[in-house]
Amino acid sequence: MFVHEFLEKNVSEHPGKTALIAGDQRIPYGELNAMAARFAAALARQGIRKGDRVVIVTPNSAEAIVALFGILKAGGVFLILHHSIKEKKLAYILKDCGARGVVLFRDQLPAFATVLEACGSLRCMIV
């Protein structure tokens, strides 16, 4: 069973049961699945296809989990990096792994602006 199939199985069996607790936030399986499906659709609109690598560079958060499941639902492959990664190292990893997309929080944009400009074909998703 694939990870995203685990989520879908739990949606069918326990849609209202809590799937994720992030701070004061409690997200049930049904809602998490719907959020991940919307994220997957957004990735598809950005041109992310089956097998594409998408790098997640966010702090631990509900949004990171939604992105992870969304990437899997879109058929992509995720790579999670620590959000404090330095710009030069991020640029190297993005190029080396052949990433087609990157997921960031809006407040991370200034720190990674140069990297994003250098990787012109890279799709950037803001959560």
Residue 35: count other Cβ atoms within 10 Å of its Cβ. 19
Number of separate domains in the chain: 1
Range of the domain at 120: 3-126
CATH of the domain at 90: 3.40.50.980
Give percent above pLDDT 70 in the chain.
Answer: 98
Of the pLDDT bands very low, low, confident and very high (cuts 50, 70, 90), residue 11 is confident
Identify the CA nearest to 67 among candidates 81, 59, 78: 78
- Express each pLDDT in 68-80 by its tens digit: 999 999 999 999 9
**E strands present in 59-126:** 77-80, 99-104, 123-126
Dist. CA 112–CA 90, nearest whole Å: 8
Average pLDDT of the chain is 91
